[in-house]
Amino acid sequence: FLAIDEMQTLRRLAQNREAARKSRLRKKAYIQQLESSRIRLAQIEQELHSARAQGVLYPGSSLLAEQGIAGKGLGGIDGLSSEAAMFDVEYARWQEEHNRLMYELRAALQQHLPEGELQMYVESCLAHHDEVLAIKDAVIKGDVFHLISGVWRSPAERCFLWLGGFRPSEVIKMVLSHVDPLTEQQIVAVYGLQQSAVQTEEALSQGLDTLYQALSDTVVSDALTCCSTPNVSNYMGQMGLAVHKLTTLEGFVRQAEKLRQQMLHRLHQVLTARQMARSLLAVSDYFHRLRVLSSFWVNRNRMAPQDQQLEAGPHT
């Protein structure tokens, strides 16, 4: 048994070293990308200052069109701001650590550790989930569109994205199918959490729809149709109002993040350590499978010709 434990320890250390090496390489690549983006951003900002000095920051501006500023976007380079790039780096690091914690949690569960020892693994995983709040807070302030667009997640995961993350009610649904048996008291408590989550999600979604409609009304306002007789003052005033409305979007995303965090901690209060461990693993496995599905989808056209013929069936 000692030899087996030693082999498992050595294997785990080797896996951790390999994960750390890949994380360093990925971080180095992101840093290089950040530096390149910073230089290009400085160049575009200089062009913007020059354009603003000439009073041509209004729709149809020939200078903006000639210099290509409008197409590049005001928030970053090629759709990636510095805040977004830094978030991608931090989230990749978080994901690496998450994978390691899930590996350890699964091993602890398979070893049938006592509830007290298993509780420490669960609390460590929950604390790691809490770190996402701090990582996301910076990008919410600097580039909330990057977060809610889901470009930092795999294609299949984006199909289920809601305000920059998962729907808490869907996670609770997964829990109910993976933590049998539940006591009657636990069932009542978990269903209560799910109902509360659904109500909050609906309220946030309705508020988001209202915000989008108000933003659309502002953008299409007559005050912005100044192509014939440019009125820079009215135009900038309306755009300032639109920007102010967008700050509400940041608030919605923060509320969604808080809801996700509260849901996990409330589940922890209702479930045993073993049930919570199974729940965390079920959620992690779900998103892992979505990433695998995305990989299959991206590589679907790289199948060997004979595989494609078999999939298509015989010709008629």
**pLDDT, tens digit, 9 for 90 and up, residues 195-243:** 999 999 999 999 999 999 998 888 887 655 545 455 667 777 788 888 8
Q: Range of 272's domain?
A: 82-297
Tell me whether residue 73 is in a domain. Answer: no
Q: Is the pLDDT of residue 316 over 50?
A: no
Tell me whether residue 46 is in a domain. Answer: no
- DSSP secondary-structure letter at 163? T
Give the global pTM. Answer: 0.70
Domain count, the chain: 1
Tell me whether residue 77 is in a domain. Answer: no
Tell me whether residue 44 is in a domain. Answer: no
pLDDT at 15: 72
CB 83 within 8 A of CB 146: yes
Tell me whether residue 293 is in a domain. Answer: yes
Q: Tell me the per-residue pLDDT of 168-195, one tens digit each, with 9 for 90 and over.
A: 999 999 888 888 789 999 999 999 999 9
Tell me whether residue 12 is in a domain. Answer: no
Tell me whether residue 259 is in a domain. Answer: yes
Tell me whether residue 51 is in a domain. Answer: no
